[in-house]
Chain A
């Protein structure tokens, strides 16, 4: 079992923990944080392949930088939507965010 497989396994474990959090948690903030955890698992894959892939290259690290930027934008917009919805519903329970279904 070489190092690349270990890193990929760790990333898979973190991704699945994040997925479980997204599915089961009701608090919208925890759901957002779990999405961040899943994105971090992807970043770990990119950086592991940047070092241990067939062709070691710095491009994987640059890709992960782009992913982090998009994740930051996603977190900012997510919290903004959360605050806006909280104003109208006075709740952060994702089960109650069903305005678009009515």
Chain B
């Protein structure tokens, strides 16, 4: 294992944002109140959007902020407000299950990290186009037009299904 890290600007930005993301995720698991967990994960999502900017994916970063921070987190907070959480924080601890889960996750993490360290990543041949947002637009409406339309149909169907599921059923007379 070698740590020949050259402290370029990109690595510093990556390191700071990665620490933010991991801290947000770990804090989310440690908080006892559900709203705090949701907000902490929103912090993680914002950090990931920053990482996307570092990776030259500005459009995806904006979509991440709009969709995850703006929509999914707010949806979850509405879900929290529509349900009751009085007895939170006093649930019985399950040490066996939590230990087993932690061991399993750490094993998976170790396998993944060893696989990543073993893998041989060749240097990229070429680079991304300068204006990635314009290229995304061109590709999305030319080559990816059919998947794009399919995804929009999927979204419509899913939201209609969500409305139908969450609608209060009529009382039988």
Contacts and interface: CB of A to CB of B under 8 A. Distances in A.
Interface string B89-106: 001001001100110111
A11 B5 CA distance: 19
A12 B29 contact: no
B72 A12 contact: no
Interface residues of A, number: 72
Interface in B17-69: 18, 21-22, 25-26, 28-29, 34, 37-38, 41, 44-45, 48, 51-52, 55-57, 59-60, 63-64, 67-68
Chain B contact residues: helix, strand, loop or mixed: helix
A54 B26 CA distance: 32
14 contacts: A5-B117, A7-B14, A9-B113, A10-B22, A12-B113, A24-B101, A33-B28, A37-B44, A40-B45, A55-B126, A68-B68, A72-B155, A83-B83, A93-B91
Interface of B: 2-5, 10-11, 14, 18, 21-22, 25-26, 28-29, 34, 37-38, 41, 44-45, 48, 51-52, 55-57, 59-60, 63-64, 67-68, 71-72, 75-76, 78-80, 82-85, 88, 91, 94, 97-98, 101-102, 104-106, 108-109, 112-113, 116-117, 119, 121-122, 124-129, 132, 135-136, 139-140, 144, 147, 151, 154-155, 158-159, 161-163, 165-166, 168
